[in-house]
Amino acid sequence: MTVGIFGLGYVGVVNTVCFAELGHNVIGCDIKSQKVDSLMSGKSPVHEPLVDEMLQKNIAAGRITATTDAKKVVAEADVILICVGTPSQNDGTVNLDYTINTTIDIANYLSNTNRKITIAYRSTIPPGTVEDNMRPIFNEHLKNFTGTVTFAFYPEFLREGSAVNDFMKAPRIVIGTLDNDISDLHKLLSYNAEIPIIVTDTYTAEFVKYVDNCFHAMKIVFVNEAYSIGSAFGIDVAKANEIFLLDRHLNISPRYLRPGMPFGGSCLPKDLRAMQHFSRKLNVQAPMLNSLLESNKQFQQRLLDKVIDKKLKKVLLVGITFKNHTDDVRESPMLKLATDIIESGKCSLKIYDEDINLTTLRIENANIVKYVENDLKQAIADAELIVVSKRFMSEVIALNTTNKPTLNFTDLDKYPAQENIEGIY
């Protein structure tokens, strides 16, 4: 089967390499030629474990190509997956411009043909988008078409840093559609007999992604609030959380229930704002959901207070992307902390993070680039205070031979407080 993928960001690139790995021919498409060129050179335009190796393997096998020519993709694909960005506005409204433009392009290029094709949206979109927005827009621009088109929504539940594993070993696959013939999409997605495939209507499928991400945001806020209170009592936060997470019957899963950093990234804040927007638009009271961003904001302030209270002038942030094994700094708590430190004027700043993509950082956060250091050993030697938010704590401990004060914003269980290492609580 030939799969066309529009949008070569995190979701699009991971889908490209995974479907190719499963034996399909994949054509990636993006309006940014630099992404296409990077992909075809065997270098993923996004940082994600395993992706470069899978990309190079499948380019060599002839299963992956990429282009800026949308017409070529529409002409050759059996199934099209739309993975373009759906960023949120300040009020939580979801920006559908990229999705709309892609839909129009596909309709224009299908005009005057008799193709049989399935169009599945993967980008997170508000309930009703496929049927109430995309299908009418598509039909408006489609001319002299004698083939068949199936519309579907196929939500992604991929975590940056573990996206390939999340794809290949998904807990479930959801297909939302109001059309009768989803045989091609169902065949494409039946790649692991252990993964249940749930078919439902598009509205339900569109909504469950928001439910997932808001629940994860709530869990992060909950543990941070709960252990802020516990810390004030002087409790052992790591031990209390270890006990809490032993209950797999009622507490469900330890994921997102580890006290530490505020939530950030490209999904949780955006989707939570969207849900808050939905509640206002529909006049539905949602006080708990509406409190989560403010609570997260307060915990973000706690990070800055921890740094400033040390009254040390040279601060090194070890880790600035929002989680391990990704170069994504969108709404990263550590990027916000870096900005807050700079704006406070109370400390000088250096940043180390081997996951960072300097090219992307120059484009989107040019003011931060000058603070980035490539040599962790030298950066530690120059610092007075070290703040660690990612997987680099063992390296920091080994290189910090003079036991400089260190704030541990990462794994509280593995690195408990000691003489020169202080936890977030």
Q: Which residues are catalytic?
A: 267
Decide if 16 contacts 334 (C-beta within 8 A). no
Q: Are 90 and 128 in contact (CB under 8 A)?
A: no
Report DSSP letters for 292-324, one per residue.
HHHHHHHHHHHHHHHHHHTT-SEEEEE--SSST
Token pair listed for 163: 């996206």
Four-point Cα dihedral 311, 365, 394, 251, nearest 10: 100
Alpha-carbon gap, residue 21 to 93, rounded angstroms: 36
Short-list 369, 372, 411, CA closest to 392? 411
Single-letter amino acid, residue 51: V
Q: Which of 49, 58, 57, 71 is nearest to 4 (CA)?
A: 71
The tokens for 6 are 């529009």
- C-alpha 303/C-alpha 68 separation (Å) is 42
Do the strands 385-388 and 314-318 form a parallel or antiparallel pair, or are they unpaired? Answer: parallel
Alpha-carbon distance 176 to 182, whole Å? 10
The DSSP code for 123 is: S
Give 373-406 as a DSSP string: -S-HHHHHHH-SEEEE-STTHHHHHHH-TT---E
Nearest to 62 by CA among 31, 38, 27, 13: 27
Q: Which residues contact 59 (CB under 8 A, 6 or more apart)?
A: 40, 42
